[in-house]
């Protein structure tokens, strides 16, 4: 269980753009810090690249169209699942390897930086600008392309917003 957050953002309006994992986590954290959060999502559903559908003609189990598997070391999303009291279902005992480029539906990785992208630019992607903080799996230093990276980045963006507010407070008299 995550420690309760201090409501430093009470009375502050914050707009979160995008209701994928990262935006939802940022919104949740900001709300827990007391902010008045408005979430704007372009699609008619939340979840972004995580999307479960039910199709009884095809399968009794829900069908995942995007993010689904959580590795052992994905601590941020595991912690979120514990908070939300979601039960994870072990699916593999011995691990596995999937060659995305051989998958006839994916025809390549489900996410990638293009060949000319330089690793040292990664930290720039997460840097806040003025009163704007950025989240999303692509801003994660180690877990870009994973739900874990999205969750981590949502927590980080909420902390960045809190920090912006704290920096605006008048400093204590010497």
The footprint of ligand FAD (CB under 6 A) covers 17-23, 40-43, 48-50, 66-69, 110-111, 136-137, 145-148, 150
Tokens of 11: 């009375």
- Nearer Cβ to ligand FAD (11/114): 114
Contact 153, 137 (CB under 8 A): yes
- Nearer Cβ to ligand FAD (10/43): 43
Distance CA 162, CA 136 (A): 18
- Nearer Cβ to ligand FAD (9/39): 39
- Nearer Cβ to ligand FAD (10/55): 55
Distance CA 55, CA 67 (A): 18
Min CB(134)–ligand FAD separation in Å? 10
Contact 51, 125 (CB under 8 A): no
- Nearer Cβ to ligand FAD (95/170): 95
């Amino acid at each position: 269980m995550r420690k309760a957050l201090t409501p430093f953002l009470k009375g502050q309006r914050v707009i979160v753009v995008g209701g994928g994992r990262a935006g939802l986590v940022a919104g949740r954290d900001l709300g827990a810090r007391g902010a008045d959060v408005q979430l704007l999502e372009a699609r008619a559903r939340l979840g972004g690249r995580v999307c479960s559908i039910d199709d009884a003609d095809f399968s009794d189990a829900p069908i995942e169209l995007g993010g689904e598997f959580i590795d052992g070391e994905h601590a941020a999303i595991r912690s979120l699942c514990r908070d939300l009291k979601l039960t994870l279902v072990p699916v593999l005992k011995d691990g596995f390897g999937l060659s995305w480029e051989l998958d006839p539906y994916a025809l390549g990785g489900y996410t990638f930086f293009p060949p000319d992208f330089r690793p040292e630019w990664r930290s720039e992607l997460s840097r806040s600008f003025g009163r704007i903080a950025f989240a999303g799996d692509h801003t994660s230093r180690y877990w870009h392309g994973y739900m874990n990276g999205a969750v981590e980045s949502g927590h980080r963006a909420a902390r960045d917003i809190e920090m912006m507010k704290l920096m605006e407070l008048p400093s204590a008299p010497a």
